[in-house]
Amino acid sequence: MDFRPTSDQQALRATARRFLAARFPRDRLRRTVDADAAAGADDRLDRGLWRALGEAGFFSLRLPEKEGGAGLGMPEAVLVFEEAGRALVPGPMAATHVAAGLVPGAADGAAVVTALDGPGVVEHLASADAVLLTGGPTVHVLPAGRGPRPAPDLPTTVPLRPLDPTTPLHRIPGPLPGDAGQRLTGTDAQQLRLHATLLTAAQQLGSAARTLDMAVEHARNRKQFGRPIGAFQAVQHVCSRMLARTDLARSGVYAASVTMTVSEVSAAKLLADEAAVRNARDCLQLHGGMGFSWEADVHLHLKRAWVRREQWQPPAQAEELLALALLDDGGIAPRNV
């Protein structure tokens, strides 16, 4: 047993971070935010960025090498998705990743694939080429496209005024017809959901780690009452709890990427959702009035964390599943041998 990332894994993470710093730096994020906010409901996911993410392997890295992938596993995918969460990369990252190898163009980022997981909301519908329907026992796929009815095969699509400015959403009220779209044969729907859930958790983890860094940086530099606010115990303790929450979520997310059991993935999502939302709230509170302004990034983390919390197993579902797992001895019985 060696739970720590290998040196290859650490190098992969560092590469992902460097790639995102170059290809999606902060000013790029802010331009996206302002453009999207100005456009309103008009969806304009950056396809150049998407293709670059595809070329960098964000979607294909788990595909076998003969299918153009890197033959890596979920631990590696989780590490790079953590970096994507930290950089607040917009778009249906998890859906496109799990669609790689199933939907043409997903692996290399030529196609934007979004997903509808049960009744609820679907992100970036107007920019998408395809919609995965993952709420049922089998996975189906629908074509999607631009225009007033971005997914003509869906019964109703109601555009929302998006809470997170870089995540346009449509609401799909009510259940879908069971025969909607084309069935993807040979695909394990539960496995696909598990993967997407964990990749979403990894993004939440990255966001939580980033708001922790932002809070600590601010606490070191912002002076009030003649000293850095980080010298006040109230501020110190908030930062300490942010770190503890992030570390707990990280343990959960990394372990789930290794074991991929249903209950560990739920634990990972639950803890990462909580870390992302609460860290963003704490970061905002520590920034005071500045944190409440549009120009600060912290609200972007909070809003994205709120969106991801509702995607791929919201907390209430995760908690119910984790409770049930206790009755089955949920991973407590010896497993290692």
Which of residues 105 and 291 has its CB atom nearest to other proteins in the complex? 291
Shortest spacing between CB 20 and a copy of itself, in angstroms: 37
How far apart, in whole angstroms, are the C-alpha atoms of residue 25 and residue 10? 21
Q: Does residue 52 belong to the site contacting other proteins (CB under 8 A)?
A: no
The pair phi, psi for residue 111, each rounded to 5°, is: -115, 145
Which tokens belong to 116? 């509808």
CA 309 to chain centre: 9
Stretch that binds other proteins, among 87-95, 98-106, 133-141, 307-315 (CB under 8 A): 307-315
Q: Which residue's structure tokens are 């290859």?
A: 8
Which of residues 109 and 252 has its CB atom nearest to other proteins in the complex? 252
Q: Does residue 240 belong to the site contacting other proteins (CB under 8 A)?
A: yes
Q: Footprint of other proteins on residues 149-168 (CB under 8 A)?
A: 160-164
User: Residue 295: CA atoms inside 13 Å, Cβ hemisphere, count?
Assistant: 2
Shortest spacing between CB 325 and other proteins, in angstroms: 6
Q: Does residue 252 belong to the site contacting other proteins (CB under 8 A)?
A: yes
Which of residues 232 and 306 has its CB atom nearest to a copy of itself in the complex? 232
Name the nearest CA neighbour of 322 among 259, 257, 271. 271
Q: Does residue 35 belong to the site contacting other proteins (CB under 8 A)?
A: no
How far apart, in whole angstroms, are the C-alpha atoms of residue 64 and residue 145? 29
Shortest spacing between CB 215 and a copy of itself, in angstroms: 17
Which of residues 183 and 281 has its CB atom nearest to a copy of itself in the complex? 281
The H or E element containing residue 212 is: helix 189-221
Shortest spacing between CB 310 and a copy of itself, in angstroms: 23
Q: Does residue 225 belong to the site contacting other proteins (CB under 8 A)?
A: yes
- The correct pick among 69, 143, 145, 314 for binding other proteins (CB under 8 A) is 314
Which of residues 22 and 332 has its CB atom nearest to other proteins in the complex? 332
Beta strands in 198-291 (DSSP E): 223-224, 227-228
Query: What track of x and - describes contact with other proteins for positions 79 through 118 (by CB under 8 A)?
Result: ----------------------------------------
132 interface partner picked from other proteins, a copy of itself, none, CB below 5 to 8 A per type: none
Footprint on this chain of a copy of itself (rule: CB under 8 A): 232-234, 237
**Per-residue CA distances from 135 to 131, 211, 273 (Å):** 12, 32, 20
Shortest spacing between CB 235 and a copy of itself, in angstroms: 9
154-158, long-range: CB < 8 A, 24+ apart: 154/116, 154/180, 157/122, 157/125
Cβ density class 284-308: b for 16+ within 10 Å, e for less: bebbeeebeeeebbbbbbbbbbbbb
Which of residues 133 and 307 has its CB atom nearest to other proteins in the complex? 307
Q: Does residue 310 belong to the site contacting other proteins (CB under 8 A)?
A: yes
